[in-house]
Structures are given as structure tokens and as C-alpha cells.
Structure 1
Amino acid sequence: MERLIQADGQPQYGIFAAPPELINYRDFAFRSPMGRRLGALAKWRRFHQFQYFGLISEQLIGGCALANLSLAGIGFVYLFHPPSGRMIERQFKLPLGFGTRFSQRPDDGLCELRSGRNLLRLENFPSPKEKRLLVELDDGTRIDACFSEVEPVFQPMCISTPAAVNGWVYAQKVAGVRCSGEVRSPLGDFDLQRIDAFAHHDWSAGYMRPETHWNWACLSGLAAGQRVGLNLSCGVNETSYTENCYWLDGQLIKVDTVHFAFDRAQPLRPWRISSHDGQVSLEFEARGLHQERLNLGILASNFKQIFGQFHGVLRPPGREAVPIDNLWGFVEDQYVKW
């Protein structure tokens, strides 16, 4: 598919075997809930985009995100060292996105944030099909990590869904892929291939609900001799279709709707995550979290990304169950108004 928005100004909806080449949101026939045609200013104001790259291993956990919220450009990066419990993190908020740039090509583009001597960059390459994270901070921290969706072959989750009465969301998810590169930081120096690191990735954009909330879970690692990745959500991207799935050795297996049971006031207490079709039954034990709060009236966010370990079972149809034994990953509890 070359473009997500069709000639009639409407997006294509569904789960796709391959991503669109371009999220051509400027061609969207955007209308108010009462049917009034909206112009370029409204299209700019309501279009939001974010990209996330996560690192998972027993020696190092990391996450980096960039978000274009029209009125602000936002980025964060953190690293957590499980053996010692030490963590470093940085956050950046740039008015009107000055110092940022965002490509609307999920598999062929560059998104970055620059603030002083700090750089957060996410690059997507079409040939070979790779994703790369580059972080350079003014304290000397440097992350250079990448993964491939070609060798071995990997099937990403590519989904487009309606959102509220007049919007839509395109999301592209990857989990359960091996990661290479290096990290230099106050926590130590790490060769990502040597510590058997895995990666996951999220590329999302569209006209999302003006006020929304979601929970999300992701894990990556080895289980029962297979590369396992998991991507589950509740509250977003589930109008007509859902993004819920897991991967076994790169093969995507679809999952029905899921339920997250947890204590919002105490998010470091155990979480339970289960799917309606019985394929997923997991518990999550938290080991730490990255959190942010922002309240500017017209923009607000209460964001908690918690990292820890999963245990439980996956039950793929027609195959042996896959035990999940203390695999590292993430859960998320997010409220946002934009």
C-alpha cells in the first residue's frame, strides 16, 4: 500500500500484511463531529504522532520515545540496571515542537529531538528493513541500538482503526526481535548483542481521541526455545480491530480483547493480564517505573511506564502452550488530553 489515505479522503482500515509507505494525513477529509469541513490549521492541531524504541535484557532495560503533539514536542529516555536497581532518565519538552522533526513514513524516515547538546533520534530504513535508536546526552550517555525485520523474517502488526466520531489511528508494532549495538552510560558500558538484548518498537500516528486512556503490555525474550514477543492494549486501537498479538519466532499470532487488572493508585503492585480467548494468562511483577505528569489545560498527560517481569502462559491455537518464566517487559497506564 502506497498511501493510507485514499482518493476519497478516507483512510483504509484493517490489519495489513505490510505497512503503508506514507501516512498522508494532509489528504484526510477532516470534518467536525457535526460534519463541518475542517481546514489546514485543525488538521495540524489534531494530528499527533509518536515513536518508541525499547530495550530488554537481564542486564539492561531501556526506553526512548518521541512525540509530536502539535503544540509541543516531547521526548524521554531512561536506562535501568536490574542487577543494581540503579536508573538514569531524562525528559524534554519543546514548545511547538521547535528542535524536532518527524517523518510520516513508518519504514523510511527519521524522527529526532535536539535540545542543547542532547539528541534523541529514531531512524527507519527500508532496505535492509531496520530500525535504529541513537541517543547522545550531555552527560556522555550514548545509546546506539538497532534491529532487523529481515533476518530472520518478522511480521509486524500494522493496523488502522477509526477513532471517536471523526478520527483514525495507524499503529505499527514490533516485539521479540534481537537487538545489537552498544550503550555507554553512568550505569556501565554494554554490548547489546553480548548481553542477549531484545527490542520492541511502536510507530503510531493519526487523529486520536481528544481525551483518551490506555493500558499496554509488551515483553520480549526466549521461552521454550523460541523468540517470543508480546503486544497487548486496552482502551485504544480497538474500534473494529485490535492490535493484540504475540510472536513466536517472528510469526504473528492474533489475540482477542484483553483485560488488565491492577491497582491504579499503587501501580508497582502485581498486574494480571488475560485475553478473552484464553490465549494469554500472565502476571507482572514490577521492578521500577518511568513516570511523567503534564497539565497545561489544553494539553495534559499522566503517564506511567512500569518495567518488570512476566510469568504465566501463552496458548497458541493448535500448538503446545508456551510457559513464560520471568521474562522482562513493560506495562503502561496512560491518560492523555490533546
Structure 2
Amino acid sequence: MKRDALPMLPPAPSEVVSDGVPLSGRYAGRIDCIDWQALQGPHARSWLWRRLHHKRWQYVGMGNDEVFVGVAIVDLGWMCTAFAYAFDRLRGEMVANWRQDGLAGWQGGVSDHPVQGGQAWFKGPFARLLLQHGASDEDGEAAGSDILELSVRTRAMKVQVDLSLAHAAPFLLGIGPVAGGVAHATQKSPALPVSGWLNVRGRRFDLSNAVACLDSSNGLLARDTEWRWACAHSAEVGFNLQQGYFGVNENALWLDGQLIPLGAAHFEFNPKRPMAPWRISTDDGLLDLMFTPEGSRREDRDVWMASSHYVQPVGTFSGTVKASRAAAPRSIDGLLGVTEDHRSKW
């Protein structure tokens, strides 16, 4: 199917709120700004409640046959945190696993603009992270609106990459209510080509043949939030799945440039043995995959009024996907991606 063919989802709206109510649904395309200020009636909250419950994050995952890199900047409203890790797939070793916390607005923040004109940043001791849209090249000239620049400088690792938005398949935008909170919006990218490098432990990895994905999320969430997540991408096929606080709103398959909504996701795994195989499927029969972990990033933290219990295995997916119930299954083998089991009090 051609990339400019009409998607199966309606086009993304220009705003996440209409007439005081969240515009719940799944959409194809990018939104310029996620702004909840126009919420009214039962969706409105006090300034203090919003300050404590407004969560924003940007996550980039990218990998190739040699390495997988994960980077996140999270703005909790009253504090911020960032992490970056690198997993050497050939050695089966986590070669960098960095994290820092800071004061929101002073040491880090995430813009309400998920891509267009957006920025996520973190500054801490010996650490500088920046994800920005339309960055400048080495000569100071504008790189254009089709580029996202990611820069990571820490003692553990350094990353400098550009993610190309040109010719990308439609993004997924999901908007919906959340139990215990008000509403959430998330924008997921299809496969994005990468150019750049990773330096870690005196070694330099060329990431120019890597594939990246972007998760831009922004919501007024419950204090206790949990989810299971799976994401993997290549140029031909990719998917994003979530089971937990956001229902089916971010479940989608990308197949040959076509964005296809998926049903409810089911994660079959042993939380006490996350490095054992996982089975992940959807109730519409369009996706049925086994996930084989190669390594993982874990976190088990309690910090003042927040806690995070988290494991994100890196590995490969194999099985079948389909564009529709009547379509012939497409075999998937060795598709690089991640799963996640996450419980947060924030």
C-alpha cells in the first residue's frame, strides 16, 4: 500500500480538547500541541492537582544488529528524571545504564509540543540530554523540519543522532480518559531512520543503519499507574501495544506504511522471571508474537513521594501479524524491540 494512501483511522485533530472534553479516540497523524487548559466541568481540576498529576515524557528507542539504546526524559511536574542505557547485543551485556533526578523546570522539562517545535531537556551533574525538533547542523544552519536531534552527554555514554521524519508512515495519536486521573494523550512514531553514533566504554557504534521509535506522552494521570508495553519496528513492519491504564488507545500495527488499529493486548509472562519468553497477542487475532529477551534494564526505586518498579527487556519478536481478519498472515522473525512491566506511584 502506498504511503500516501488514506489511513484506516481518522486524521489527527488540531487540539486534544473540544468543548471542554477530551477528544477521545485513535487518530493517524501528528499533533502540534497537547494542551489540557481548555478542560471544563467534571474534567477540570485545581491548579495544585494539575501540578501534581500532570506527567509528560519523551522516550526514544533505537537499535541495530549490534546495539540497542534507550533514552527517556520524564517531567512529573514537581520533579524530573532522565535515563539512558546501551545494550551490546553481540556481547549480551548492558554496557551503560545511567539515570539522574532533578527539579522540574530547573534541571529538566518536556514541552507540550511532542514533535513540531518541541523540546525535552535535562541538565545535571556531568549530564546533558536534549531532544529537539528542527535542530541546526554543524555549520549552524537550520537542519529543517523533518529532523529530530537527540544528544546525550553523560559519563557513562554519549549519543549524537538525527531521526528523520521525512517520508515516515503516519504517526499514531491516542487520546482518552484514565481511571483515577482525567485524560492522557500519546503520540507513537513508526520506524524512523537514524544517522549518528554512540560512544560507550571507549567504543564507537555507528547507528546509521539503526531504526528508531519515538514515544511522546502527556496526561493528567492517577497517582498510581501501571502498564505492560511492547514496541518494535522495522521499515516494513512495526507495532505498539499497551495493557493497563490507557486501554486500547495506543494499540496499532504498521504494515508496509499502513497504520492499522489493533484490539486489546494480552501479555503472558512471568513477572518474577521477565527474562523468560513472553507471549503477546491481540483479541482481534491480528497479532500473535513470542518475545525472546536478550537483556534488560531494571529499576526498583522509592524516592520521597514517588516510586518506580520497572523492567524493560530488550529482545526480538517472532510470530505473525495480519492487516485484517481476512488477510493472509505475515511472518515475523527476529524483529528487534522491547517489552516493559511498569508500576509507578507519582
The reply to whether TM is greater than 0.5 is yes
1:51-62 equivalence runs, <5 A: 51-62=58-69
Unmatched tracts of structure 1, length 5 or more = none
Aligned partner letter, 2:219 = G
Distance in 1 (CA, whole Å) between partners of 2:337 and 2:65 is 10
Distance in 2 (CA, whole Å) between partners of 1:169 and 1:201 is 17
Matched, 1:330 2:338: yes
Aligned partner letter, 1:206 = G
> Could you tell me how far 1:228 is from its partner in structure 2?
1.5
Matched, 1:146 2:179: no
Alignment correspondent of 2:6? none
Aligned pairs, how many? 323
1:88-167 equivalence runs, <5 A: 88-96=96-104, 98-107=106-115, 108-125=117-134, 128-138=145-155, 141-151=157-167, 153-164=168-179, 166-167=181-182
Deviations 1:216-256 (A, max 9, x none): 1111226xxxx211111111322xx5211111233212111
Are residues 255 and 14 of structure 1, via their aligned partners in 2, closer, same or farther at CA, if it must alter by over 3 Å? Answer: same
Matched, 1:206 2:223: no
| Alignment check: 8 A CA contact 1:173 1:231 kept | yes
Deviations 1:150-183 (A, max 9, x none): 22x4101101011125500000001323222122
Deviates more, 1:282-291 or 1:246-255: 246-255
Aligned partner letter, 1:41 = L
Distance in 1 (CA, whole Å) between partners of 2:31 and 2:233 is 25
Distance in 1 (CA, whole Å) between partners of 2:40 and 2:56 is 18
Deviates more, 1:13-22 or 1:73-82: 13-22
Deviations 1:272-294 (A, max 9, x none): 01111111111111111111122
TM-score relative to the length of structure 1:
0.89
Aligned partner letter, 1:251 = Q
Q: Which runs of 4+ in 1 moved over 4 A?
A: none
Alignment correspondent of 1:170? 185
> Could you tell me how far 1:71 is from its partner in structure 2?
2.5
Alignment correspondent of 2:291? 284
Distance in 2 (CA, whole Å) between partners of 1:158 and 1:329 is 20
| Alignment check: 8 A CA contact 1:220 1:229 kept | yes
Distance in 2 (CA, whole Å) between partners of 1:167 and 1:207 is 5
1:1-338 equivalence runs, <5 A: 1-6=13-18, 8-29=19-40, 38-86=45-93, 87-96=95-104, 98-107=106-115, 108-125=117-134, 128-138=145-155, 141-151=157-167, 153-164=168-179, 166-186=181-201, 188-193=203-208, 196-221=209-234, 227-238=236-247, 241-296=248-303, 298-317=305-324, 318-338=326-346
Distance in 1 (CA, whole Å) between partners of 2:228 and 2:169 is 25
| Alignment check: 8 A CA contact 1:242 1:257 kept | no
Partner SS for 1:26: coil
Q: Identity across aligned pairs (percent)?
A: 27
Deviates more, 1:43-52 or 1:92-101: 92-101
